[in-house]
Amino acid sequence: MARVAVVTGGTRGIGEAISIALRDAGATVAANYAGNDEKARAFTDRTGIKAYKWDVSDYDSCIAGIQQVETELGPVDVLVNNAGITRDGTMKRMTREAWEDVINVNLGGCFNMAKAVFDGMQSRKFGRIVNIGSINGQAGQYGQVNYAAAKSGIHGFTKALAQEGARSGVTVNAIAPGYIDTEMVAAVPEDVLAKIVA
- Residues labelled as active-site residues: 147
Task: Count the helix, strand and coil residues of the chain and give each as a percent rounded to the nearest 5.
Answer: 55, 15, 30
Task: Judge contact between 97 and 105, C-beta under 8 A.
Answer: no
Q: Name the nearest CA neighbour of 136 among 96, 56, 76, 193.
A: 193
Distance CA 155, CA 1 (A): 32
Task: Judge contact between 86 and 101, C-beta under 8 A.
Answer: no
